[in-house]
Structure 1
Amino acid sequence: MGRNPVTWLGSPAFPDAARVALADTQLRGNLAHATATIRTKRAAAVAELPDWERLRRAGEAIKDDVLSHLDVYLERLEAAVAARGGVVHWARDAEEANEIVLGLVRDAGTREVVKVKSMATAEIGLNEALAAGGVTAIETDLAELIVQLGDDRPSHILVPAIHRNRAEIRDLFRARMPHAGGVSDRPAELAEAARLHLRRKFLSAKVAISGANFAVADTGSVVVVESEGNGRMCLTLPETLITVLGIEKLVPTWTDLEVFLQLLPRSSTAERMNPYTSVWTGVTPGDGPRAFHLVLLDNGRTATLADRVGRQALRCIRCSACLNVCPVYERTGGQAYGSVYPGPIGAILTPQLGAGSADPATDALLRSLPFASSLCGACYEVCPVRIDIPEVLVHLRSRVVEAKGPYTPEAVSMAAAAWVMGSPRRFGLAQRLGSLLRFVARRGRIRRLPWPGSKWTDARDLPAPAAESFSAWWRRTRG
């Protein structure tokens, strides 16, 4: 299966990228403040519902039903869209999806398109593919616009520009946005400058491109939820609407959609409902776009579906709740993950969607990601569709280790540890020798050891061992 390299090209493995992020105190401050705020608000919104756990289990069951009968629901969706005047295209991978979209834009006779915030189009590198084909894509979500103007990369699913503060955004607008030379760093002024800039684009655009949060198989309806209203402008004003939809984003019926319209806003923006929920079904004469194209994107999803443990990652509704509780994400930010899907969900989804890459740098990044999240379980506790991220992390880590073979330094060291721990006498001797490491510790931490210990301390600190083991203390105090 082909791969568009834009999403991962040039990204170092997570440990290398994380070291750079950890040294950025401004980034860490921005992330800590933003994620703490979102966490607190989400907890309050969830606490309002006495049946929250039942909703989570309902969401999990619906998603698992879709994944178990995906072929049936996809054919049902295609028939419903076609019956209402839409056209369905099937894309096996990023390259094919980009070719389809670029061809549709060229057929519409335009060189500029407006875009609704979309993880799927970022996943396939659509903006870059359009630019290579002579088409300019204008992001209309405020945070995505900030990222685009700064030639930057998103660092959060919900708030892509979370790593930027107001002063940085002000300077960016002044430098890159026409008619914004005198804007201050007040949020109201920044938002107004973006509105004036985008309004001209909305009124002139012939083609809009969107992703989708959900698609209802029975009716062919496509759903986008958002907070700003810019998405609705894209979905109603242009003559042609092109939607790129991951094939796992289906729900069977309108009743099923009700569950997710309660789960998603509380888990993402900590709201009871989204300010804007846009639904369109095919083409309606005299109302909205005159042509609708739905691009159904695989791009590694079918391969992921075949993994009975890893497939639960396809339940994800892109709420970002797992990012906001993850201690690793809070300290490193989303760009360290090298993908549009950061945080715990990125640590399990990206390696599966990108599996089989022939590029060594990309392969190294993908192998590092299952180790880029802790196993504390906080992500599982907040996931609205109950993805057991720690279980998938361990599953994917075991694959990475098995692929290395039995004679790597890691495998040899684990075998040696097993031999030592297999005998009380050997283990006791190892404890006594290990206690000597306390003399190289500084402030209770060992930050650097010679090889092979450096393989550990290059990635993390080592707590200084106690002067006396528990067994020795027990013998001394209890006889």
Structure 2
Amino acid sequence: MGLTTSTKTFKERLEDSKKDGFMQKAVAKAQDDQWVKREGARDELGHWEQWRELGEQIRQHTISYLPDYLEQFSDKVAEQGGKVFFAQTAEEATEYVKQVVIEKKAKKVVKSKSMVTTEVDIDPMLLNLDGVSVMETDLAEFILQMDDWDEPSHIVFPSIHKNREQIRQVFAEKLGYQGDNDPVNLARCAREVMRKFFLEAEVGITGCNFAIADSGVINLNTNEGNADLTISIPKTQIVLMGMERIVPSIKEAEVLDNLLARSAVGQSLTTYVTFAGIKNEDESDGPEEFHVVILDNGRSNALGTAFEPVLQCIRCGSCLNVCPVYRHIGGHGYGSIYPGPIGAVLSPVLGGYKQFGELPYASSLCGACTDTCPVKIPLHELLIEHRRVMTNELNMQHGFDDFQMRVVGKATATPSLFKMAMKIDHVGLAPLSKKKEITVENMFQYGGYIAKGPGLVKGWTDVRDLPRPPKSSENFRSWYKKHKAGEKND
């Protein structure tokens, strides 16, 4: 899988998304439910905007001094007997993990939820090793694994596109489950399978919400406890983290944990907030070997550029939960393991424009993502910056699309041409207009709506109603002149 989740083109993925009615309803319901929970949890905390400003300052400071904090963290891990490996690429990261698993002669590996492990394709690598079995221990990721490693569709809720009956069918086929589709019973089935695997696993692999620079420990936030079991039972632990996921001390981690829980799942605090490292001599559980793989994999492309703020991300998924585009196309429409607004900004940074150049255009630029981000990443501004780079610096906008945009730009920037267009738009669009029953006041009273717009407009009219413009004598400008004249006469 890696960073890319589909071999289909962007248009093909959109067509699939438009046909998936269940997914659209599931995403819409999740967004609506999360809105209530998220805003309630934020209000409960109080002074939310000040918390956001503090979170932004912490992340900006850390990114500004990233080499220093990474070095400090690495030294602290080494002091405690752990090992740190800096991986420039996904291949280097997977090779390091592979060598550890082979060296330990491990046969069973347990994994807690981690976007980075998915990004570098850890699962396929492990499954290709002779005699090695892998178990995803996050319930949602476990469901996707049982369903032949289906693609995740959300940063926080990977299996949001599946309903309970679909999950029951997967469990019945793959696990011999014979119960109903009650979520409690399905969870119990998964728990029974996982617990046996936990007790036999030699290696545990986790991600990392935040690495604590001055103490050399990692901070994990989970609601199921699976990450704690992944850390405490296997003798060897491997942590994979993006190089930006670091904070100076536990004080900053506590601030970000508060922001993360409220923004991701609408809770005051996640059920399990864990700080862990190599096992101490006086402890009864924990890893005897502790490895941390710190991954670049394109993140350094953002440093010192206009896209540097994207590295502030704490992977809460809040921007997905307010995005109108994500609401309609779901996670699979983006073709990246990082979907939604954050994915539309981050994926081109990590994977390049050739692979993900369509994503910055998959946005209405409404700004809801920027408004909800707990660390104040200007997401919609970064989407515009991607478009500017592709259009102006890389000259990627060309052909008929470029010609259309130049014509529109010229017409809207020239008063005489704009006035002319306002006079003929009603008549000129008549051949493209279709009659439709009036369901909203004034919506279609001027002779229908545009069903199949020309050129770039088609992308809009395929999924939205575009009313036919009124006659020149009845448009807003004409009305306004009459209205002002009437005021003077009065």
Give the structure-2-normalised TM-score: 0.90
2:50 and 2:418 map into 1 onto residues whose CA distance is: 48
* Equivalent residue runs for 1:237-252 within 5 Å: 237-252=233-248
Deviation of residue 147 (structure 1)? Answer: 1.0
Question: Structure 1 counterpart of 2:477, which letter?
Answer: S
Which residue does the alignment assign to 1:298? 296
SS at structure 2 position matched to 1:263: helix
From 429, 433, 436, the equivalent of 2:424 is 433
Give the percent of matched residue pairs that are identical in Structure 1 and Structure 2: 38
Q: 1:335-374 to 2 correspondence within 5 Å?
A: 335-355=332-352, 363=354, 365-374=355-364
Which of the residues 29, 51, 69 maps onto 2:65?
Answer: 69
2:378 is matched with which residue? Answer: 388
Runs of 4+ in 1 over 6 A off after TM superposition: none
Residue 277 of structure 1: how far off its partner (Å): 1.4
User: Counterparts of 1:452 and 1:255 in 2: how far apart (Å)?
Assistant: 50
Displacement of 1:404 in angstroms is: 3.0
Cα distance, 1:109 vs. partner? 0.3
1:273-288 to 2 correspondences below 5 Å:
273-285=269-281, 286-288=284-286
Aligned to 1:131: 127
Shift of 1:464: 2.6
Could you list the runs of 5+ residues in structure 1 that have no partner in the other structure? 357-362
From 10, 16, 34, give the equivalent of 2:12.
Answer: 16
Q: Is the 8 A contact 2:154 2:160 kept in 1?
A: yes
Taking a change above 3 Å as real, the CA distance of residues 159 and 202 of structure 1, as seen in their structure-2 partners, is same
Mapped partners of 1:32, 1:145: distance in 2 = 23
CA RMSD across the alignment: 2.1
Which amino acid in 1 is paired with 2:361? F
Gap change, CA 1:30 and 1:258, over 3 Å in 2: same
Task: Give the equivalent residue in structure 1 for 2:224.
Answer: 228
Partner of 1:176: 174
Q: Which runs of 5+ in 2 are unaligned?
A: 437-443, 486-490
Give the C-alpha shift of residue 210 in structure 1.
0.6
> For the Cα contact (< 8 Å) 1:225–1:276, is it kept in 2?
yes
Tell me, yes or no, if the aligned pair for 1:157 and 1:320 is still in contact at 8 Å. Answer: yes
Q: 2:477 aligned with 1:471, yes or no? A: yes
Tell me which of 194, 217, 225 is aligned to 2:213. 217
Partner Cα separation in structure 2 for residue 378 and residue 405 of structure 1: 27
Cα distance in 1 for residues equivalent to 2:325 and 2:113: 25
Would the aligned equivalents of 2:153 and 2:330 in 1 still touch at CA under 8 Å?
yes
Shift of 1:9: 6.0
**Cα displacement (A) at 1:452:** 7.1
The change in CA–CA distance for 1:67 and 1:13 in structure 2 (over 3 A counts) is: farther
C-alpha offsets along residues 176-221 of structure 1, whole Å, 9 cap, x if unaligned? 12x42x1210111001100111011001100011101010000001
Tell me what 1:329 maps to.
326
CA distance in 1, matches of 2:457, 2:367: 28
User: In structure 1, how many angstroms separate the alpha carbons of the residues matched to 2:389 and 2:267?
Assistant: 39
Give the match for residue 418 of structure 1: 409
Taking a change above 3 Å as real, the CA distance of residues 319 and 450 of structure 1, as seen in their structure-2 partners, is closer
Q: Deviation of residue 137 (structure 1)?
A: 2.1
| Partner AA of 1:343 in structure 2 | G
1:65, CA displacement in angstroms?
Answer: 0.7
Cα shift at 1:381 = 1.5
Q: Deviations over 1:282-335 (max 9, x none)?
A: 33235311101000100011111131x211111111111111111111111111
Task: Find the aligned partners of 1:405 and 1:205 in 2 and give their Cα distance.
Answer: 49
Whole-angstrom distance in 2 between the partners of 1:429 and 1:83: 74
Deviates more, 1:455-464 or 1:384-393: 455-464
* Alignment: residue pair count: 465
1:325-384 CA distance string (max 9 Å, x none): 11111111111111111111111011111127xxxxxx2x41001111221111111111
SS in 2 for 1:404: coil
SS at 1:110 equivalent: coil
